[in-house]
Amino acid sequence: MKQYIVDAFTKRVFHGNPAAVCVMEAWLSDELMQQIAIENNLSETAFMVREGERYHIRWFTPGAEVDLCGHATLATSFVLTRFFDPQAEELVFTSLSGELRVRKADELLELDFPSRMPRPVPFTTQMRQLVHGLPAQAYVDRDLILVLEDEQSVRDYIPDYAAISALEGELGLFITAPSRTYDFVSRTFFPKLKINEDPVCGSAHCNLIPYWAKRLGKTKMTAYQASPRGGVLYCEDRGDRVRIGGHAVLYSEAEIRV
């Protein structure tokens, strides 16, 4: 089975978010796909099977299968348009989050994903402890989102992974703030999924785009994920959908013998 590793949301190897992409003719067992994801030890491994004119995609972290992943979908689209379907202008995926589309947009690959506006919740003592006493506004969807006052607080943030793992209900933690260079910055943490910090999280922007679009009064924005690897996302709010554009670069090709 062919496997590719692609750095997503970047033009440079060793930046952005690395994802493994497994191109298959038929599905493996869930157990084997989980073992491959554990062996890869990347934040996501995407498994893809062509079904007619569409592609069925699934995403596994080292800890579990997830219902949506942006950077691994971008990485899969990069592999498909480079090695398997170079004439395609748009790809259609079937997934646990419904139909997803990815289109070529000049040099970018642009994800069409569901918009998920988070709901405001009280800022609790536990949340204050997570951000070391900094003032913040709190929102929740699948994950906890803490909006800080300035970009430097996001960049300097030192996570307490045990405390993030102790969150009840929320899968991960996002921190975000306005930016002078970009429209907004963020960082994302998923220790429950055995991913301490996800370098560039596309699916997080399903929440962040509608939030920042409403706050900033803009539909088109540029975002930066301020992890040590870093990555740029070109964002657009389209009502019940968001568009997330990014670059990608190939790191490696391999043959998995299972």
| Residue 202 structure tokens | 């596309």
C-beta neighbour count of 64 within 10 angstroms: 13
Pairing assessment for the beta strands 54-60 and 44-51 based on DSSP bridges: antiparallel
Catalytic residues: 44
Distance, in Å, from the CA atom of 91 to the CA atom of 93, rounded to the nearest integer, reads 7
Q: How far is CA 186 from the centre of its chain?
A: 12
| Residue 131 structure tokens | 């951000």
Distance, in Å, from the CA atom of 234 to the CA atom of 98, rounded to the nearest integer, reads 22
Is residue 144 within 8 A of residue 174, CB to CB? The reply is yes
Q: Tokens 């009064």 map to which residue?
A: 217
Distance, in Å, from the CA atom of 241 to the CA atom of 99, rounded to the nearest integer, reads 11
